[in-house]
Structure 1
Amino acid sequence: MKYKLYSALTAACVLLTGCSSTDERSQPGTVIQDLVTSSTTASTTATGDISEHSASESCSTEPADTVSTSAIQVPTAEVTTTPDADSDFDIFYSEVHEQFDLSEEELKFVDYTLFVGDSICSGFAEYGIVPRKHVAAKGNLGSRSFFDYTFKFRGKEDQTYEQVLKAGKPRYVLLSMGMNDVNMVYEETYCENYRGVIQATLDGSDADVFVAAITPVCSKFCANSVIDSFNDYMRRFIETEFPERVHFVDFGQYLKNDEGKLRTCLHSGDGVHLAPYCYYIALWELHRALMEAGLWDGTKPTDGAEPMPAVASTTESKPAKTTADKPETVEPEETTTSSKPAKTTKPAKTTAKTTKPKPSKTTSETVTEPDETTADSTLPAESEIPVE
């Protein structure tokens, strides 16, 4: 009888203590409320803000009104981004400028070069990297629509490409376009369209032609994998179809980050158009290609070609009615220094006009138009960058 009574008491104790059992030993002085809070806090650490467990989900036998129902706020670690060569221009410049800087002597090849292309190409003139008289560029232009456009070149409006080549007499021509093609045509069509531009350059001048690769982007405008495919097609196309006088250059390879995108510190604000320093890198790559092809000896063309001529005067000659000499107008020279740009953002366009003094006692006047931008920095409607 005593044995049965003892067994019954033992079973009752086990039943009463079962809900408060745990795999871990409770800390001294811990009560059931502390265990609930501790368990909830552990869950919060893993998942963020979380409410207390309801009474029905807990093994606690405490009344529901003794359990706090407020959310537990768990502090989260702040995420900080360390500046690097992708996002910080100063860091990028410090790492690469010794490689890409050119001396004034090395930059003399610009005097023999014509830069032709789209709004990205127009940056050579807009940023003052090369003299405007060496650039013929137009916004929205692509290889598929190249001959639909005319250019303002050396003060003359509506110049055809043939007229540009005839007036400029370049020894080298850099063709830079394609961003307005990648969303419109396939690679094969792009190359065939470009064939016409290349052939027109060869037929209209004695120049060697340098076809620039399409530059990378860091926007939703186009996938960089597509741009890379277009560039690969063009490289092979030139090697096969134009073994002489035509060369492929890819300065965009130096503008990419580890993900193959345009570095965020090297665009002008839209993820497509380029910041000023990119054009110094482009000149370095063109200089390298000229040297590699044996077309430049370091200070002059290897074939003794002359620089592009000075801007021709458009003033019509009329019989002078006085003996006073008409003052000669001289166009100021523009520099092509390779110093570090002060800013990587695109500088604002100036609207100031410079007027030259009107000669006295003469009946002929020289009307000088201010320089105008030859390229639209926006992209075509059909290839507009999505607004984020």
Structure 2
Amino acid sequence: MQVFHTKSKVIITCNKRLSKYLVQEVEALGYTIVRDFPTGVELNITLTECIKLNLNLRCASQILYALRSFKINSPEELYREVVDLPWEELIDFSGYFSVTSNVDNETITTPLFANLKVKDAIVDRIKEKKGIRPNSGSDANKAVVHLYWKDDEADIFIDTSGETLAKHGYRKIPGKAPMLEALAASVVMSTTWDHKSPFVNPMCGSGTLAIEAALLATNRRPGLFRMNYGFMHIIGYNEEEFFAERRILKDQVIKNIDLQIIATDISEDAVDVSRKNAKTAGVDTLITFEVCDFADTPVPEGGKGVVVFNPEYGERLGVHTVLESTYKRIGDFMKQNCKGYTGYIFTGNPDLAKKIGLKAARKVEFYNGKLDCRMLEYELYDGSKRPDEKRPVRPTSTGA
């Protein structure tokens, strides 16, 4: 089964509300999108072409290569369809595989049962053809098979990513309540930042927003931080394809760039974590870190850049009242210290956002986990209101 050279349906998944930015990335890489939907996009490409996508995409979660689509109404029918596939030509009988699934069918009360049926079918097929039983389990660091089953329609995929792409591999120390890297990249992409003017990130936490900004500006792709993917454990994999793509990643990094990225936090531990994560990402020399109250964050004059906050949302009891004062201070800081900039606040609490005291020019919808969030944009005028033609233009590409 020559999956590396055979075109098939490929689904690239992402977290809800990130598909707009995923579309921008995929199209910028030269791929034609068959369709897009709230949690991903569909392509028609080979498994080899999935290698480039895995190494380049910032906003994606998994890249799934379809082996077969079928209609089923029971676990027994699922087993029969899966056991019919030539798994001995895909998974090394001496290797290891895992099964994941997304199931919505009345005959399945738990996805684990569907996973077990798929696993049994694969094991039985390989044992019949090769006489040896392959190992299987829950680890996603080898070959991964994914089942999508809704009502009576099902697809069986090779998960070419394995471990999720939403984690970019540089954040060895997560810090307190970190923002997922794929979300942080999308948040930066949603701003008007031109990758040249100052990027100011008070309350930086573990530094993910500032680091993703530096990675975007220098065209450093997530594939630079990772050496293991699901596609590497499929029979027919040619490692030369992977290393050729990785050389391209290294060659396209923008060096000797003049950037002003400023990240501050009142917590010395948070700033220490941020510095270490930035060093792992190779952008520590491009970010100025400082321990201070957010109101003391240095803002370059005349920079016409962006200032981005990701403050606490006040989900815990008793915290809300304290944060009302903090949000008001954030608004005062932006009005007084960030004139000429575009301000952004990422929050999951609309009531606290009202305390900022500024009218949002734009609201961008995101989810942080399952929490409904907004990215609020504020035009912080320097003197009189800027005419439309002088307002910053929102980027439409990935910054490649």
TM-score w.r.t. structure 2 length? 0.29
Larger RCO, structures 1/2 (Cα 8 Å, 6+ apart):
1
TM-score w.r.t. structure 1 length? 0.30
Q: Which of 1 and 2 has greater Rg?
A: 1
More strand by share: 2
